Amino acid sequence: MQPIPSVRSIQTARRSQTRRPVRPLIRGELALVIAVLINSLGVVLMLHSGAGISAISSVPYALSEVLPRLSLGTWTYLFQGALILSLMLLRRQFVPSYLFSFVVGFCFSELLDVYEVRVNTLPVSFGLCVLYFLLSYLLICTGIALSNRCGLPIVPTDLFPRELAQIVHVPYSRIKVGFDVCCLILTGAATLLFLGYLDGLGIGTVLAALTMGKVIGWIGCWMDRRFRFATGRMLRQAAQK
């Protein structure tokens, strides 16, 4: 026979419940839209800052400089298609949700070209460039953290390190840093080999590549403490139980 709880224990339990307010719900669909909008802006803004392009877009940027007939946006979704194919080969199966990720990546790529036209009109000075870099860094980290929690297929450049971490059972932060460093090596090799000089790489690119994995983790933990994320499908499934 279980003991009857005392009045004090009941009051304590009630107080603890009142101290834990329900975290606001953010729909996964909205989180994905915001992530795509701010990530694409962050990539273009970082390039405009002169500190170098973000690691996730450095390879498409290098290709757009070496073969300029195709725009940065076009090379981006071609690169993303290669990442999706690589994930399927690693999983040794066809994953339908990855195709939707490619559609999201296409929207991301088109936004790069849209933002590039407008961001290139912004004034440039040393102070403003520092501000552009810091803002772009924060936008990209926040966008990736949102992407990892939206519960939906995301941009392939964000999806690849997340899925690879699950496949090889290695912490996300390590995979993210390793992926970014590999992108920088490919970018440096391509521009140096075909252009004769390093292009698109700067101190900001290296700094972001080495630190962004950790910062994304910190921002993600902050989000988890304050918000909960669920897609419409998840909410419907929960309501049926």
What tokens does 172 get?
A: 């996300």
Instruction: Read off the pLDDT of residues 18-76 as tens digits, 9 standing for 90 and up.
Output: 455 688 999 999 999 999 999 999 989 988 998 888 787 889 989 998 998 888 888 98
Q: Are 61 and 78 in contact (CB under 8 A)?
A: no
What is the pLDDT at residue 20? 58
Query: Measured in whole angstroms, how far is the alpha carbon of residue 14 from the centre of its chain?
Result: 39
pTM of the predicted model, to two decimals?
0.76
Q: Which two tokens stand for residue 178?
A: 């390793």
Structure tokens at 70: 């195709």
Ramachandran category for residue 187: left, alpha or beta (phi over 0 → left; psi -120 to 50 → alpha): alpha
- Cβ-count burial 160-184 (b if 16+ within 10 Å, e if not): bbbbbbeeeeeebbebbbbbbeebb
Residues of the chain with pLDDT under 70: 1-21
Q: Give the pLDDT confidence score for residue 37 in this predicted structure.
A: 94
Tell me, what's the pLDDT at 127? 93
Provide the residue ranges of all domains of the chain, joining segments of one domain with +.
26-224
